Amino acid sequence: MTLKGFVRAVDNASLSIRKGEIMGIVGESGSGKSTLALAIMKLLPPTARIVKGSIIFEGRDLVKMSYNQLKDVLWKRIALIPQAALNALNPVLKIVDHFMETAKAHGIHDKEWVIDRASKLLELLRLEPERVLKSYPHELSGGMKQRVLIALAMLLEPDVLILDEPTTALDVLTQRYILDLLKDLHAKTSITMIFITHDIAVIADIADRVTVMYAGKIFEVGDVFTVFKEPKHPYSIALMKSIPSLVGPIEEMKSIPGTLPDLRNPPPGCRFAPRCQYAMDICHKKEPPLIELKPGHLVACWLHVKREEEVK
Ligand SMILES: Nc1ncnc2c1ncn2[C@@H]1O[C@H](COP(=O)(O)OP(=O)(O)OP(=O)(O)O)[C@@H](O)[C@H]1O
Ligand code: SF4
Ligand SMILES: [Mg+2]
């Protein structure tokens, strides 16, 4: 809630993540990506709440779980590296103490186990454990700090890792390096990853499947190959055209005219309608359902509902 009314930051978004995959969630700033991640982790600020819905993990609903039940799932089984976490490391604590504190917060007091696990993780992330554990955050580069954060999130051996814009604050080369490391980590551990970014090019690089979000809604879901080769939602098509190309002429790269709607008072019907060149009457009146165009390829757009009906 805001002083000026309620905002439905994520609205009726239904999404399933497959074990062991990398699911990319993409959408422009303000589309509700972080809110989705924070809702899963029960980290929404006090002014926010989940009004309706469920978060099913291994058959159990996180929304209905008690505090004690959640303690065994959140951070232990599902961990999050929040957006802008680079600045969240405590400047007066050495990295080793960050690992100790995290372990202690979850009832682990075995120092040797923590150092051993932290060292293995740091090695996996191509950092020198000896040096890094003894360092203070300010002694590390942005890329090193990001790797420390990944190791910290993985300390309790989670099965699912949610990464919210993990490469956004980094320069292009470091970003590339972190993406390669994450791919390597995924291959070695087969951890399930939910990778959130506003950068569609990053999704192409790392994800198996992609969910396109806009103004709190899910517009398209599918495997990366299909969605990049044949995007079906006008917003996804526009996102693809916004990718800078090293080989194509710069004029081919297009920004999307207009801005996200005010979520305190979203337009009726399709939320993309005010910006969509294909908008029809129905788009301004009724919200399009998320339909399965082909197995695993879901789209919420009246253009495709119509086509489906014509086929029938
Ligand atoms: N605590 C809050 N109180 C009020 N509105 C909020 C709050 N948190 C988020 N919002 C609103 O919810 C919407 C979604 O925000 P969110 O941070 O989830 O977007 P995002 O997709 O992660 O954006 P970005 O790419 O900038 O990180 C925005 O309109 C934002 O203004
Ligand atoms: S439902 Fe209508 S307005 Fe929305 S994306 Fe499809 S064509 Fe455009
Ligand atoms: Mg965000």
Asked if 122 contacts 133 with a C-beta cutoff of 8 angstroms, the reply is yes
The token pair that represents 177 in the structure block: 């390096």
170 assigned to some structural domain: yes
301 lines ligand 2 (CB under 6 A): yes
The token pair that represents 203 in the structure block: 């999704």
Atom of ligand 1 nearest to the CA of 35: 18
261 assigned to some structural domain: no
**Average pLDDT over every residue of 228-238:** 94
262 assigned to some structural domain: no
234 assigned to some structural domain: no
Ligand 1 pocket mutation, candidates 1, 2, 35, criterion most atoms within 8 A of CB: 35
Q: Domain count for the chain, please give it.
A: 1
For the stretch 169-228, pLDDT in tens is 888 888 999 999 999 999 999 899 999 999 998 999 999 999 999 999 999 999 999 999
**pLDDT > 90 in the chain, percent:** 62
Question: Given pLDDT bands bounded at 50, 70 and 90, which one contains residue 310?
Answer: very low
Q: What average pLDDT does the structure give for the chain? A: 89
- E strands of 35-191, at which residues? 56-57, 60-61, 78-81, 160-164
Ligand 1 lining (C-beta closer than 6 Å): 2, 7, 9, 27, 29-35, 45, 47-48, 83, 198, 263
21 assigned to some structural domain: no
178 assigned to some structural domain: yes
- Kindly report the pTM of this predicted structure: 0.91
46 assigned to some structural domain: yes
Per-residue pLDDT at 257: 80
The CATH number given to whatever domain includes residue 37 is 3.40.50.300
149 assigned to some structural domain: yes
The residue segments making up the domain with residue 103 are 32-197
Rounded to whole angstroms, the Cα distance separating 83 from 34 reads 7
Per-residue pLDDT at 42: 86
Report the run of H or E that residue 211 belongs to, with start and end: strand 209-214
